Structure 1
Amino acid sequence: MKTKWQQIRTLLGLDHFQRLWQIKPLRLSLLGILLIPVMYSFIYLAAFYDPNENLKYLPVAVVNEDHPVMKDGEKIQIGNDLVQNLRENSKLKWEFMSRADMQKGFKEGKYYLGIVIPHNLSALATTVDSPKPLKGQLKYYFDKSYNYLAGSSIGDAMIKDVEKNLDKELTNAFVDKIFVQMKDSTKDLEKAADGANKLADGTKEAKKGSKQLADGLEKAKGATDQLEDGNKQIYNGLGELAPGAEKVAGGVSQIEKKALEMQKIAHDINDAIQKLTKNPPIPQLPSQKTNQPASQPTNGTPSDKLIDAKDKAKNLKKQYQDLISGKPELQNDPAAKSVLENIEQIIQSNDAAALEISKIKDKVPSSPVDTKSIQDALNKISKTANDKTAEIDKNVNDIKKLSKGADQVADGANKLYKGSQKVYQGQKELNKGMGDLKDGAGKLDDGLKEINDGQKELAKGLTDGVNEANQKLQGANAKGKVISDPVDVERTDLHPVPNYATGFAPYFISLSMWVGAMLLFTILDLEKASRKLGGRPLSLWVIGVVGVAQVLICIFALTWGLDIKAKLPVWLYLFTFIVSFTFIAINQMLADLLGNVGRFLAILILMFQLTSTGGTYPTQLIPDFYQALTPYLPMTYSIHGLRMIISNGDVSSMLQDIYILLSYFFGTFVVTRIYKMWIKPNIKGYFIKRLQHKSA
């Protein structure tokens, strides 16, 4: 009779463990199934617990062929400085050697990485301040055939680190050089500022002179304006004078002509009087009469000539008066008046002479005394005529001179008018030029003012620039260091992962649980185990307990053996239980429904989960085909959930993964139960009936 506890053990299938343990082959299989998951994850994570800590043992060949150079009295040795920095850097195992030794080491597989510092690195670095600066070049050597990671990922990280140090070193040196040149430039700027100030002072003085020049030109412009007005008046006056002078000269010429006619008349009268004086018309005394016949009067006697001269004189007077009346400019002329007076005198003298002669003709001398008195009277008339004639000759000569002078005056007036026209035009040009000069002087003054203002502003700007530059150049060394390394990177690790093992633990725990579940239905033959148990099927509790044991052993070994700490330690166990049960349910369904084909599919699914669940590289980096598989693979959610538990601490995201895993679990579990409880028995009964029917 079984006890109550024995009945419970049998109901739960716990007695199966005792029976399985008693069967040696099954006992060994059970031990392997329990230990393989922990071995799979523990060994791998222990071997690669934190490879970055061991980079200091990775040898890197360094060849320094650089030759130092001198620049501005300073020794430049970039290669030696880089070697010194590498000696102080313990991230990698730097080994310094010749190029031949490096090549030998690569050939023997001793080195994966190498650096060669070329001979002209320092020389090229000194060209930074030349018109065509040249870049230096480091040479890196890799040999990925011995180890891909060492030659690619680690090599790339090394290159970046070396380049960063070298860039910092060169930039610091270049900036120091630039700061020195800037300091020298500020000294030149100080000189330029002083020169600008002096130039501004000189321009200020020049401006004063230009102001005085402008004022003087302003006054000169006023004077030239007045001079232009005066010259204009002279020009206009001469313009009026020249025609008048010509008219006067013409009038004087006509006066001269009339004066000559008057002179001829005067001479004719004088000749007649002189002839009359020599042969006076005196009657003879009785005692003087002879028998000679008396002389007959003839035409052309002196008396007739006097009469004729009188007529000519009167006619000349009329012509002259007409001439003078037509020339107003001669009416008040003394010469013109003198000619008219002389004509009047000629007429008067002629009348007087004619009167005396007529008296003489009418008077009969009674004695020689009377004859003498007549002769005396004639002599007196002759003398008066000679005097008047001489006076008229003198006046005519004066008129000739006056005419000649009038011609000269007219000619001079014309020449003076033409000259004054040139003077006036020249004065206008001078005045215009003076105006332009005045305007130019004003513009010069304004321009000098602008120049002076600009020079002051330039001097102030240069001085301010020098002061600002000197101020900014303070602390040049510190600034050079900041420029060479301008950014301090502040890393904020939102969810720190201390080492490689902790980071990859979700992946290998999930992988171990799948392998353990897969082996449970591969190594442990449940059909044989069932026959060993008297035909009873292996209890689900046994399978569940195996899964729990796998989880407990694996998680304990990783947390205590490798010191992998989870942010949610309780959830680490609970979640891994769910993962284990889910993976067992999936593998059981495949094995029960499809047998060996199902076991092959379990291995194939494992392969896809190794590549498509984001355990190593982010899924965004894998091909599209594998990315398409990601959401359908259970390890996608086990890895993500374990990451939330170990490193992130996000419970809500982890619960979402649990829901998805439980859906996988219940789905496959229900399918397996339906198959075992209804489909498989019906199929078996169908084939038994067919066999019985055939045998009957």
Structure 2
Amino acid sequence: MGSTPASAGGVTGVEPAQDAAHKGNWLRRLLVVLLLVLPLTASVVYMWAMWDPRPYLEDVPLAVVNEDEGAMYKGEHRNFGQTTVDSLLGTEYLNFQEVSAEDAAKGLADTNYLFTVRIPKNFSADAVSVITENPRQAQIYVTENGYNGTAGAFLTNGVVPQIKARLNQTLTANYADNVLSGIIKLRDGLGRGADGAEKLDAGAQQLQAGATQLKDGTSQLTEGTGTLTNGTAQLKDGSGQLAQGAQQLANGTSRLSEGGTKLQAGTDQLADGMGQVSGGVSQLTSLLIPLLTQAQQVAPILNPVIDALRAVGMNAEADQLAGLLGKIDASNPENMVNKLGQLEDGAQQLHYNLSDPSAPYRGGLNQLTDGINTANDGAHRLSDGATRLNDGVVRLDDGAQRLNDGATRLDDGVTRLNDGTTRLTDGTGQLATGLREGYNKAPAIPNKEASAKQFGSPIVYTESNLHPTKTASDPSDPTSVVADSGASLLLMLVILGLIMFIIAILQPRPASVAGALRGFLVLALAGAGVALGLGAVSSALGWHPVSWPGIIAAMALVVLSNAAILSLVKSWFTPLIAGLVSFALFALGCFSFGGIWPVSTTPLPFRILRPLHWMSYQRDAFIGATQGDLGMKFWIAVTALAIFTLVAAGLMGLIGSRRRRYATTATATEPVSAA
């Protein structure tokens, strides 16, 4: 009984001491947060700000899609889109991959590509319109995904301008080639025109000299006409002989005409006689052909007689009989019936040629007679003309020689004049052709202002972001930016994790399984409340998940996995060490999970550790639910987060059980106080 007050007083005295101890522990934890965790956080953030990912650019996948259909350029079909793709693929420090539009869109949504470049189907057609009436700037579409790392814009802002400059240079080089080629061809055409002009000048000089000589030649030709009169005297003798010969020709044609008349009369007599012969032949054949036709019918009956004669040895008689039968045999083309027919036809044909004016012979004879008569008339006329010609030749001969001399000189002058005019024509033709070619090949620029604008900026880049972290609030001020829907990844994962980490540091170290469970529930509920608040902020920034059931499940597992792992660390280590370990794990996750820096831009050790950190799966689950892509990647992430949560909770319970067992064993082994 005496001990009761003491016991009561002892209990009463312990409670204030415990309260004071708890308050002291809370203050120490707060000091750890203020003096250690926050400076470490600032240091890590500073290190991330100084991190240079550019050496890893060649490992960052970039997609390029070419939908260009090409266009006609300089008479051939060209695809400047493919030229652009080849230029990008040839960039050694960038990892461009040519893919289809579908693969590019899916890869960008899955954060497999830092950004995509799409070349539309009318790229070439717009590119070659630079010197048309309606120049159009070629379009290229660059699309990013802020969920591929909020610091990815640092890379994109550094790489895209280089790509723009490279592609602008490529297209501008084609423009310059087009314009410079036109200028070069214009110069060539003008050069050819100058050459032609020089030839034209030389030809004109020769033309002038030839014209002078032509004038001299015509003067000499005038003098030569007098010489022609003397030359006709020599022609007089020949013209006299021509008159005599023409008279003799007229006499001969007269005799020939008389002979033709006699030949025509004899032919008439021969035709009459041949008509009588033809009639007699016709009478003869009309008698013989029927008899021979009957004999042809009887001839086959005599063939056995021929065989009988041969059988008795009378071969000569058989041969004679066979020969006779052969002459009347109908199958023999040379039988007597056919011969008689031919004789009758021949007699009729001969009578026809001798008597009918349309027959070749009689017609030719008539024409011959007419021709002889015409020739006779002509011969007489020739004789008359030759006589008169003789009179004219006397006067013509005198000037012929002088005219010949002048004509020779005129011919020389005209020849030289012709050569000069030919060269003049060639020169003027070359001049016209050269100038026309230069005009046609020179670049025509109907819309100078629009073409100049396209030369200055040949490609228009349309940039977009599936989930931008920041957007410009004032287009005229590039420094004026506001947070956008892409910041939801930082808010819902990084900021949520940081707040839950701070709450966990401020919690007391659990002394039992019940205490650990209570701390886990408090941290989970606090995390859920923070998640709701950050979700509201993200929604105000434009974050609108496609799958709300998916995002609810994903965020529930995010909160539970954070709470379980932070509670496990809190249960395992002393408060100071727990704070350092929790922060180290959080910092490792922030650097390697792909939400701040793209995974491919981090050092290799972080890429290896990424699959081992729960924040990597939180990011995959969050992105899949936000974009409505609840595929294999989403379910792997959800399953991994559930496993992290269950394993951490199990280890936390095991550590609490062991700590309670150790505490019980220690209490049982303490010596009993004498009081």
- TM above 0.5, yes or no, is no
TM-score by length of 1: 0.34
TM-score by length of 2: 0.34
